[in-house]
Each structure stands twice: as structure tokens, then as C-alpha cells.
Amino acid sequence: MNKLVAIEPKSFVEYEAAVVAGGGVVTQMSSEVRALIWTDYHAPHQLAELLIANPQLEWVQLPFAGVDAFADIIATNASGTSSTPHSKLTFTSAKGCYREPVAEHALALTLALCRALPERILEKKWGRQFAVSLYESRVLIFGGGGITEELLTLLAPFKTHVAVVRKHGGLSMPGATETLGFDRLDEQLALADVVILAAALTPETTGLFDARRFALMKDTAYLVNIARGPMVDTAALEHALKGGIIAGAGIDVTDPEPLPDSHSLWSAPNLIVTPHSADTRPMVVRLFSKRIHENVTAFLAGEQLVGQVDAQLGY
């Protein structure tokens, strides 16, 4: 059996070790390679060119849970067009890999907002006595993937009422008080004390949180975004914060990203911006290595790969 696996465009010692541990052999890209570990989220054009030049490839492992940057490539190769003759090409993402640190970050942002830490960290006097307890509050999580599964576990001790709004509303999630479809989002926004975005970025979710949806939220509610920046209309978020339409926001992702130093959003009150650090490079390398090992082992054994991407759903 051909065990050759290429790691492009940049390799890491940890990834190479994971391939070897899974039974593979790391090599340069050639016509003999059937499996590819792709490591650069910001270079989809390079991946597209490589796929055209290597029609023998059967499996591509992408580096992050979100595959929005590769949506066109995935759709094109799934369609079986003449320019990309990959009749059996499977894409896997890293969905589920980083669930623990990202869920941890979402909880940290939530607690920081509830305890007014953005205000207190900057304050140089005693100031007002204010805090909101997360215990027995209502939390709305938008998205039903691995991060949400982990968040439900972390939120359990707080005895929160958690409504999960997801694409497949009929599939209940253990730990959620209720699991609902996208069509129930607006009504749930009006009830939530905390809204956490943890869904994939697709055409359906791009710009979903706009001025109209912020207006549906309670003026005491907080928004936490650890998904993708373009899911939120940045101008609408700024207006909602400065106008007191919502109480605050904690965002690990922005649109644009990185958020320019001169951007007016920085002046919004009750805002925490972290620089896409829910999962840092050391975390990513360690956790992605585990996924590589797992999938190389499965690929060579002819078994089901973890994190397969659905071209129609976009994740």
C-alpha cells in the first residue's frame, strides 16, 4: 500500500512525527502521493493549483475547523469538473480538534463581560459596584459543532438554560435545554442573556448578526464571537455597543481581521477584543498533530476519516 503523505506548503516536525506514528511516510509532493496535509489557511489559491497538478490525490486534510477559505475548491472538486478530475477526493477539516481551548476562551470572555472586567481593568478609582451572575441565566449558542458540545459541558455547573440554534434543529444536543433550528433564532435572541457564536461561516451565516438582530437582543445581553468575524456586521456591532442596544461584547474574531489600530470599533464601550487567540500556535500544532495521526491511521487502513467536509453544507 502506498504510504506516502505530503505536507504542504509548510511542514512542522510535530506533523511529520504524527504522519510517521500513523504509519505513513512523509515525502515531497509527487505523482505517487495520495494523501496531503495542507497547513496554510491563507493560501487557497496554492492548494487549487496543486490539486489540478496532482489528480491522483485521494485525501486532503485542511488545517482548521472552518473551511470557508476553501469553499470554492471543495465545491469544484466535488463537482467532478474536467479541470479537477478528482473522482474520489475527500476533504477533512480540523473540526473538533480545538474544541477545548476555544470553548474555554468563550467561557472566559463570557465571565469577563458578566463581571464588567473591561471596565474594571481600565478603571483607576473605586467606581460603581456592578456584576451579573452567569448562574441560572439564559445562554443562546448559535452553532451545533464540537465547540458547542464542549461549551455545554463547561456551562453545566452554572445551571444555565442553554438554547442551541443549529442547522439541524431536530438533532438534540446532550446538555442543552433545547435544540432548535435556524428559524427560531430571532425569538431566542429576545430571551438570551448571553449569545455565543460558534457556527461555521457559510453564505447563510455571513452578516447574519446585523442591526436588525442586535435590536432583537436585550439591552442587558452580551455577545461572544469565537466563530468567524464576517458572521457579524462590524458597523452594526459598533452601533449596538455605543448606543447601548446590547450591554457588551467579547470577540476573538473580527471583520476585517486583523482589526486595524485606527478602527473606530476600538473605541466602543464594554468590548473585549482578543487577537484570534482562542487557539494559539502551540495549541494548534499539538492538537492538529493528534488529528493528523488519527486520520493517517484511518486512511491507510481504509477506514472512515474524522472531520469529513460536506461540500453542500460548507463544513
What are the domain boundaries of the chain?
4-96+281-301, 99-273
Q: Is 228 a catalytic residue?
A: yes
- If you average pLDDT over residues 56-69, what whole number do you get? 94
Which residues fall within 8 angstroms of residue 144, CB to CB, at 6 or more apart? Answer: 164, 166, 167, 168, 171, 173, 179, 199
Say if residue 80's pLDDT is above 70: no
Q: Is 276 a catalytic residue?
A: yes
pTM of the model: 0.92
C-alpha to C-alpha distance for 84 and 130, rounded to whole angstroms? 59
Using the 8-state DSSP alphabet, how is residue 243 labeled?
A: T
**Three-state SS for 157?**
helix
The pLDDT score that the predictor gives to residue 82 is: 40
Average pLDDT of every residue of the chain: 94
CATH number of the domain at 99-273, out of 1.10.150.120, 3.40.50.720, 3.40.1280.10, 3.40.50.300?
A: 3.40.50.720
The pLDDT score that the predictor gives to residue 5 is: 98
The pLDDT score that the predictor gives to residue 203 is: 93
The pLDDT score that the predictor gives to residue 88 is: 74
- If you average pLDDT over residues 54-81, what whole number do you get? 88
CB 162 within 8 A of CB 177: yes
Write down the catalytic residue from 58, 104, 178, 257.
257
Write down the catalytic residue from 228, 238, 293, 294.
228
Which amino acid does the sequence have at 235? A
- If you average pLDDT over residues 34-62, what whole number do you get? 96
The pLDDT score that the predictor gives to residue 83 is: 47
Write down the catalytic residue from 115, 138, 161, 276.
276
Q: Where are the beta strands (DSSP E) in 59-207?
A: 59-61, 90-92, 138-142, 161-166, 178-181, 194-197
270: left (phi over 0), alpha (psi -120 to 50) or beta: left
Confidence bin at 171 (pLDDT 50/70/90) = confident
Q: Return the closest-CA partner of residue 209 out of 197, 222, 219.
A: 197
Q: Is 119 a catalytic residue?
A: no
Q: Where are the beta strands (DSSP E) in 67-118?
A: 90-92
Scanning the structure block, which residue is given the C-alpha cell 456584576? 131
Q: May I ask the CATH class of domain 4-96+281-301?
A: alpha beta
In the chain, the N- to C-terminal Cα span, in Å, equals 30
- If you average pLDDT over residues 279-302, what whole number do you get? 96
- If you average pLDDT over residues 118-129, what whole number do you get? 92
235: left (phi over 0), alpha (psi -120 to 50) or beta: alpha
